[in-house]
């Protein structure tokens, strides 16, 4: 691959990817010539950041490997959490003697947690830094799982999803911002989100096994609590240097950075795309088991594993399609995947066979798998460098809020007309993704 020389501004401590203000008067002394790959040379919306702006350099992966391991483990735990709820719905209902509308409240409170994180992430990062926000999120998640495992009263059980949602959202925002800032980001974002898929793959397997073979379905949350404890330890190890310290001058900029971020057209469009995409992803994985039980007549102990097929396909798509998507063109390949996803979804809808449905839901996961890492990669090429940290964090959290909003909507409607509503909702979400992706500006590449 060809490479070019370009001039960018670096911070004094790039290994930690922490931000710091570069004084205008010493700006010339902070310039450094480095070689970057063509994929990082897309023309940003402004050729150079304004004087005094906060930017960061792209460190080599080897310089931040411990932080990357920690980030990937946090996202793995996020996947384990997200995929478990759908597999546990058939056991959650009789345990609390509730209908689908009350089950949907779990997703609604989860959405509230994600939304709170979207607007607090920038301010928290400014005060306690990347490691500090990761630690806050990890502790919140641990608290939520420590309350869930003993099967508390349903109102408290629902509130734990708000706590977990905010904790996961804060970690997710930091992970996407961090990994999106390393060299060869498109590849490492693919790995990051494949790890999420891996967590989501094994989660229904473990949850279904515990819930179907014992009367203590809620003991699954002991597994989550144990992984959450390890997550806290890894974060403490990875970010022990400067833990709890924000970048110089970051508090003063936090408000203005957030305003610039939410007024940027690309940020708005990409946030909406992620909102719809993650909503479709978790809706499919979260309600497919209930659909196969209620509509296709499947046995809970058998079809509970079908959800893992969806998440397995998603993981495979993120690993196998990352480089193909990048080389053949991110914009056109997302459209191709959307057409393929729509085709397999229609087969799933109109072919009433559990085996065929299991295959189709796996293929659906495979084709939509690359969307999130690809979207983050495209966004970093369209958004000014000085807004990357705030913008990626905001897009990740508002986008992930869809993981709660649309499953809630599906559950609320299903409580009235039946869970067969899952199919038209998924088709509608795929079409909405295509419309939003078409509205996102094209990326202009510099020639070597």
Instruction: Supply 352's token pair.
Output: 């009433």
Measure the CA–CA gap between 410 and 219, rounded to whole angstroms: 26
Residue 277's pLDDT band, with cuts at 50, 70 and 90, is: very high
Residue 348 in contact with residue 360, Cβ under 8 Å? yes
Residue 15's pLDDT band, with cuts at 50, 70 and 90, is: very low
What are the pLDDT digits (tens) for 322-374? 889 989 999 999 999 999 999 999 999 999 999 999 999 999 999 999 999 89
Q: For residue 59, what pLDDT is reported?
A: 62
Phi–psi pair at 401, nearest 5 degrees? -60, -25
Instruction: Supply 328's token pair.
Output: 């053949």
**DSSP string for residues in 159-201:** HHHHHHHHHHHHHHHHHHHHHTTSTTHHHHHHHHHHHHHHHHH
DSSP state of 5: E
Q: Which residue is associated with the tokens 């690993």?
A: 319
Instruction: Please check the confidence at residue 45 and state whether its pLDDT lies above 50.
Output: no
Phi–psi pair at 8, nearest 5 degrees? -130, 165
In order of start, what are the domains of the chain with their CATH numbers? 61-439 (1.20.1250.20)
| Residue 267 to residues 19, 225, 346, 387, Cα–Cα distance (Å) | 20, 34, 31, 10
| Residue 377 to residues 54, 176, 225, 270, 322, Cα–Cα distance (Å) | 20, 10, 32, 11, 11
| Residue 348 to residues 8, 43, 235, 252, 352, Cα–Cα distance (Å) | 49, 41, 41, 52, 8
């Amino acid at each position: 691959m060809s490479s070019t020389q370009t001039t960018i501004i670096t911070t004094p401590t790039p290994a930690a990817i922490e931000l710091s203000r570069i004084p205008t008067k010493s700006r010339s002394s902070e310039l450094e010539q480095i070689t970057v790959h063509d994929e990082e040379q897309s023309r940003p919306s402004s050729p150079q950041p304004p004087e005094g702006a906060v930017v960061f350099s792209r460190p080599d992966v080897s310089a931040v490997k411990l932080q990357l391991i920690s980030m990937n483990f946090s996202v793995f735990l996020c996947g384990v959490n997200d995929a478990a709820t759908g597999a546990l719905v058939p056991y959650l209902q009789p345990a609390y003697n509730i209908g689908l509308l009350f089950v949907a409240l779990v997703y609604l409170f989860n959405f509230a947690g994600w939304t709170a994180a979207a607007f607090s992430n920038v301010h928290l990062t400014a005060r306690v830094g990347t490691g500090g926000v990761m630690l806050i999120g990890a502790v919140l998640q641990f608290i939520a799982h420590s309350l869930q495992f003993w099967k508390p009263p349903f109102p408290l059980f629902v509130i734990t999803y708000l706590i977990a949602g905010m904790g996961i959202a804060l970690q997710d925002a930091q992970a996407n911002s961090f990994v999106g800032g390393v060299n060869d980001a498109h590849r490492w974002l693919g790995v990051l989100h494949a790890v999420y898929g891996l967590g989501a793959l094994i989660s229904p397997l473990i949850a279904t096994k515990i819930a179907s073979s014992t009367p203590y379905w809620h003991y699954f949350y002991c597994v989550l609590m144990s992984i959450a404890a390890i997550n806290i330890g890894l974060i403490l190890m990875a970010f022990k240097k400067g833990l709890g310290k924000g970048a110089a001058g970051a508090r003063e900029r936090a408000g203005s950075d957030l305003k610039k971020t939410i007024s940027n057209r690309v940020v708005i469009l990409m946030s909406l795309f992620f909102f719809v995409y993650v909503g479709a992803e978790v809706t499919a994985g979260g309600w497919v088991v209930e659909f196969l039980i209620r509509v296709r007549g499947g046995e809970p102990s058998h079809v509970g594993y079908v959800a893992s097929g969806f998440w397995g396909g998603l993981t495979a798509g993120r690993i196998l399609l990352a480089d193909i998507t990048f080389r053949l063109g991110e914009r056109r390949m997302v459209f191709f995947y959307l057409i393929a996803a729509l085709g397999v979804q229609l087969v799933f809808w109109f072919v009433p066979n559990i085996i065929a449905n299991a295959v189709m839901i796996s293929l659906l996961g495979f084709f939509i798998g690359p969307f999130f890492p690809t979207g983050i990669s495209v966004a970093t090429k369209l958004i000014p460098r000085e807004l990357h940290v705030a913008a990626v964090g905001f897009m990740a959290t508002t986008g992930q809020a869809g993981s709660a909003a649309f499953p809630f909507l599906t559950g609320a409607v299903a409580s009235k007309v039946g869970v067969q509503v899952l199919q038209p909702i998924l088709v509608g979400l795929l079409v909405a993704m295509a419309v939003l992706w078409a509205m996102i500006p094209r990326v202009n590449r510099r020639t070597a």
